[in-house]
Structure formats: C-alpha cells, structure tokens
Structure 1
Amino acid sequence: MARNEQLIRQHKLLQLLEFSRFGSTLEELRDELVGDLGLTKLHSRTVRRDLEALQASGYGIRTESLERGKVYKLGKTNKGVHEIGISATELISLSIGRELLYPLLGTQYWRGIETFWNKVKDALPDGVFEHYDRYRKTLHVFGTPSKTYEQHEGMLKTINRAILEHRIVEIQYAPVGKPVSTRRIEPYGLAVYQSSIYVVATAPEVQDPTERLRNWKLDRFKQAIALDEYFKPDPSIDLSDRLGRSIGIFSGEKPTMVQIRLGERAAAWVGEDPWHPEQKISPEPDGTAILTVPASHPREVLPKVLSLGTEAEVIEPAEFRSEVADAVKRMAAKYQ
C-alpha cells in the first residue's frame, strides 16, 4: 500500500468494528482489510499491532472469547466515531455519479451533491482520501455534455415549488424554429433525459386527456412565474410508469411497438447498448435480426436508426418507416 498505510488500515479497522454487531476475529478483520483496501497480503500480526495502537490512543476496543475464537469489539462509548462509513468502492461510485450529474451544475441539486461530497471528504483523514483518490484515477468518465443549468436556477426553484403546491405556472417557451409563446402549464415533476432536464406538465387548453401531459425542455424556458392559481392533480398519472414506456422522451399513453431490421453488426451493438429494457432482438436465418422496441414518436427512432446507417431498416409501422425514408431522401439530396 502507499504512504499513510497504517493510518488507512486503522481508519478502516474502526469502521469494521463499528459496524460489526457481534465482533470480529483477527483473521476476519485481516481478510476484510485485504479485500476492501485492495491489498495482496496482510499478516495478522500487523492487524493486532494496529488494534493495540488504537487502544493506546483511547479507543475502547475490547476482546471477548467465543466459540469461533477471540473477537474484537468497539465499546459503546465509541460508537458513531465516523459520521460516514464508506468503502473505497462506494466512494468511487459516488465520485462517478457526481461527474455524471455535471449538467446540474449551479442548481440547488448540485449544491446538495457538493455539500454531501464535502461531508464525505471531511469525515475521512487526508491520507485515506488520497488512497481512495488513487483508485478513482483508474476509471475515467467521458461523453457527458458540457451544458449546465446555472442560468435556470431561479426557474427550477419556481417550478419545484409549483409542483409541490400544485400551482399553475405561466412560462415563456421558445421551441426550436418557432417564436416565443406564453403558455400555462400544470407541472407534475421533473425528468432528466440524456443530460437535459424536462418539466413534465399538462397543457390545460388541450382537451384530449391522452395528449395533455407533455415534456417541456427546460432549455427552452425564457421565464417561469408561479401563479396564484391551483390545479387538482390527476391521480391516474404515474410519471415513473409513463416515462419508462418509450425509448425517448416523447412518452405517451400507448407507445407503438416498432420493428427494425438490423444487420449482424448492428444487432451486436444494440445488444451491447440496449435502447430500452423491454426491447427484443430476434435472429433471422439470413444473419440479420429483428429489433422490436417501444416508441411514442418517430423522432425517437429517427436518430438511432440513422446512426446505424445501412445496418438498420425500419420495417413497421408505416408512419415510422415513412419518417425515416423521407429523412434519408432529404439527406441524399444534399450530398448529390
């Protein structure tokens, strides 16, 4: 192990003893240390010396003889010596999750993430954190967008309050390629999809109940004002269920099952990186495969199919096939 190895071992020993209900033998502590700290070997005598050093430092570590041998326990007065008990794997996982949430930078959510992250760091001795940090550098996270929602912090707070209080929100909304319009929405929740935040809300002026609930991209909000008007939430709306029905963000009441013929390589790619948890890939005798996947709008399928080039062909339904065919024709015309 690197420098500060004794400090790192002793810190981990205190964690192991604190969370051990019935105590641990010397061998059990040694094996736990080897596994959690990524050591190749560790002698029981070293662990015993660490325990003796902790006892000399004032920690109430006591021993008790049981059938399985001599066990070490942490005295009741020393319980809670660590505000946060965290392993190397847990710290690495937390660090990765923090990086994946960079689009929330500048929002109240990010401040909560940073506050918790700083608490973790403060609860660990410097040497221990340095040890974990070395492990963290073996894994790198790429491909996350550089966008943030710092400029939308005030609107996020307004929308959050409106969701909790069931208040109607008046927004200035600017769809791509269209002028800004004033809309009234009834917000039910927020969704993060491909590093973008969407406000899931009903449009009160829409009469068709299956079309009222829509996903409004926060990037397109120019203003959001919570009005002193309230709405009665529809108890039949289950956002978790609704948002998980389709491969994209255009979730609807009844997504369409789309069939796409994939080449051999494309079938392998989609198998490695699934589009949806409920997708099915059925091999064909000629080496191709038929992908069946739920989608609520042709625009959800279009970019995924185009990214596979000639390795993918939408078979049905006709509306989805036609949308892709038209896009391919327009692209071909540009390259003639």
Structure 2
Amino acid sequence: MARNEQLIRQHKILQLLEYNRFGRTIDELRAELVNDLGLTRLHGRTVRRDLEALQAAGFAIQTDNVERGKVYKLGRTSKGVHEIGISATELISLSIGRELLYPLMGTQYWRGIETFWNKVKDVIPDGVFEHYDRYRKTLYVFGSPSKSYEHHEGMLKTINRAILDHRILEITYAPIGKPPSTRRIEPYGLAVYQSSIYVVAAAPEVTEPSQRLRNWKLDRFRHVVALDEYFKPDPEIDLSDRLGRSIGIFSGESPTLVKIRLGQRAAAWVGEDPWHPEQQIEAGDDGYSILTVPTSHPREVLPKVLSLGTEAEVIEPAEFRDAVAEAVQQMAAKYFSA
C-alpha cells in the first residue's frame, strides 16, 4: 500500500459525504470509493476505520439509522466551517474563471467547481447577487474552444490516483498520423494549456535525463491502466518552472531564444497580447522591431508567426527560420499549383 493511500481515501470520503446530505452507508461509500479511485478491492472494515479516524481528527461525522441502514453524514458544525463572505466584484471574477474552465465540464474537477459555485450562491445575500447579476451582464467571455473532457472522466480518475501514488501507467496512445501504441509512463502532474489537458510524465525507456519528461495530450489516450508498479519521483523536477519556460506546451531543460523581425502593427499586437512573460521587443531605427522569445520547438513558433502574415519574419536560429520557410513554400505551392 502506498504511504498516502489512506489520506487519499479519507479525503474522498469527506467529499462523498459533503455531496450527499442524506448520508451514505458503509457499503455505499465502499462502492463509490472503488469506482472513483479505481481500486481493485476495498473492504468495508477499512472504510469504517477511515470514518473513525476522521471522527477522531475532529470532523463532525454523525450516524443515523434510516430504512436502508446505518448512514454516515457530516454534521451541522462542519457546514459552518467553510462559510465565507463574498462581494459582487469577487463573484464576477469567480464566474469568469468558471466559464474559462468549461473544457473541464463533466470531469471531477468541474463537479468541484459547480459544487463551490452553488454553495456561494446559496450563502450570499440577495442584494449582493442582484448587484452581481446586473453587472455581470456587461461582460461576456468568448474564445474558449468548444471541447469537453466529459468522456475522459474515468481516465482522469486513474491518472490522478497514479500521480498521487507514484504508480506507473500503461497507456494506449494514438499520436495524430500514427497508429496507436502501448507505452509505460511515470506521471508527475496534469497541465491545462489552451483548453486542452496534458499529462506531464516521464518515459522510462528514455535514458537522456533532459528528454525523459514529456507532455502527453489526453485527447490521444485510448486506454489507461494504473499498474501495481511504483516509481521514485525525481526531486529536481519543478513542473511550474518547467512548463513556464516556453511559449507553448512543449517543454525542455533549455529553451531556445528565437528572434523574430516584426512590422509596426505586429509589434503592437504582440505587445498587447504577449506570447511569453519573458519576451523582449526592441524597436529599430528602420521602423521594425526585434522580438526575442523563448521556445522549445519550431511547431510552437510556426502558427504564431504565420498568423502575423508578412508582418513577421523569423531571423534566427536557422532551424526555426527553415521550418517557417518550408511551411510557407508548401502553402504557396498549394495556392499557385493551378
């Protein structure tokens, strides 16, 4: 058993009791734990011991005898612990964040978002909500891709458990343009980039340390199983630092600084909507500017440069310039082949 398995199980029990105000029997909790955590087996005595441990820790878990048997539920004292005050401005900010996370709809993350949102609406005064509702109608959120990971909920549960337990995953992965293959990965975390979810995981067969950690797009997972095999996480890996080094989802130990020549309009656009927090734009005497931005792969630069049309030209390094030139040549051949 992994060291933190009991903690994960007890945290899930609290969630289940919180979602069900009429309580749950031992058997009902056991069945939901097995389903949500992807367990192969779980005894009712283990669930009972977890409940007793939570009660001993101070959680107000009460029991009641009903028609279907003895049920466990959170007492009223637990309800008041999380009460918060919220202003109309804070409510607007929260609702905007909720709309930006629509791609998570149907997953366990979205249920948590909706549960919290409904709790907030239940506790705020009518006047505050009316004020929020009036001002919220002046602001609209657009541009989020119309995709959802609802059908990946089971996979996400398995992946989450493997991340927490440091278990190796066996996946069937289908990259675009290639046949599906079975791989073994060591998952470190999840990343959301432009409304897509990626599993940040190491490929055990890769021996080069700087190349082991990769980002696997969840859309391309066809099957996933958490094996009864464990890995030792690399303490040197900092996901927040690693994922923030480049302008896109590709990651690496040492991103490349790419220089791009921008026209006046393009420089203004990139200044308004930066590609990266560490980008630099230096204006030249000829009316053009040089953008310097870190990136890990030519495929990250290509769509951004092409979107600027003739207003942008990759200067260096040669690998990135050649990648854009090749794409432009192939596009021109298609348009002028007639």
TM-score (norm 1): 0.75
Contact 1:172 1:224 in 2 (8 A): yes
What is the CA deviation profile of residues 74-121 of structure 1, one whole-angstrom value per residue up to 9, with x for unaligned ones?
xxxxxx899220011100000000000000000010000000000000
2:289 paired with 1:294: no
Counterpart CA distance in 2 for 1:264 and 1:282 is 11
Aligned equivalents of 1:129 and 1:274: distance in 2? 35
Once residues 183 and 118 of structure 2 are traced to their aligned partners in structure 1, the CA distance between those partners, rounded to angstroms, is 40
Matches of 1:156 and 1:81, distance apart in 2:
29
**Partner of 1:243 in structure 2?**
243
Residues 245/82 of structure 1: CA separation in 2 closer, same or farther (3 Å cut): closer
The one-letter code of the counterpart of 1:268 is A
Give the Cα–Cα distance (whole angstroms) in 2 for the partners of residues 198 and 137 of structure 1. 33
Counterpart position of 1:258: 258
Question: What SS does the corresponding residue of 1:133 show, helix, strand or coil?
Answer: helix
Quick one: distance in 1 between partners of 2:236 and 2:92? Answer: 39
- List aligned pairs for 1:265-284, cutoff 5 A: 265-284=265-284
- SS in structure 1 opposite 2:245? coil
1:315 aligned residue: 315
Q: Secondary structure at the match of 2:248?
A: coil
Q: 1:279-303 CA distances to partner (integer Å, 9 max, x unpaired)? A: 0000010100000000000000000
Shift, 1:161, TM fit: 0.4
Counterpart check, 1:118 vs 2:118: yes
2:190 aligned residue: 190
The structure whose Rg is larger is: 1
Is 1:100 the counterpart of 2:100? The answer is yes
Q: Which residue is equivalent to 1:131?
A: 131
Distance 1:317 1:128 in 2: 55
Deviations 1:3-60 (A, max 9, x none): xxxxxxxxxxxxxxxxxxxxxxxxxxxxxxxxxxxxxxxxxxxxxxxxxxxxxxxxxx
Give the aligned residue type for 2:256: T
Question: Aligned partners of 1:119 and 1:108: how far apart in 2?
Answer: 17
Q: Which residue of 1 aligns with 2:200?
A: 200
Q: Structure 2 vs 1, CA of residues 276 and 253 (structure 1 numbering), >3 Å: closer, same or farther?
A: same
Letter in 2 for 1:170: E
Distance (whole Å) between structure 2 residues aligned to residue 249 and residue 173 of structure 1: 18
The one-letter amino acid of 1:271's match is G
Q: 1:210·1:253 contact (CA, 8 Å) conserved in 2? A: yes
Aligned-CA RMSD value:
1.3
Q: Over residues 277-330 of structure 1, what are the superposed CA-to-partner deviations in whole Å (9 max), with x where a residue is unaligned?
A: 000000010100000000000000000000000000000000000000000000
Paired letter, 1:136: R
Could you tell me how far apart the structure 1 residues matched to 2:293 and 2:305 are?
12
Distance 1:248 1:201 in 2: 17
* 8 Å contact from structure 2 (residues 88, 128) kept in 1: no
Contact kept, 8 Å, 2:85 with 2:124, in 1: the verdict is no
TM-score (norm 2): 0.75
**The residue matched to 1:171 in structure 2 has which SS?**
strand
The 1:185/1:82 distance shift into structure 2, 3 A limit, reads: closer
How far did residue 124 of structure 1 move?
A: 2.0
For 1:131 and 1:146, how far apart are their aligned partners in 2? Answer: 29
1:11-22 equivalent positions in 2, closer than 5 A? none
Contact 1:170 1:183 in 2 (8 A): yes
Give the partner amino acid of 1:279.
Q
Give, in whole Å, the separation in 1 of the partners of 2:303 and 2:81. 53
For 2:87, the aligned partner's letter is S
Give the letter aligned to residue 246 of structure 2: S
2:123, 2:224 → 1: CA distance?
39
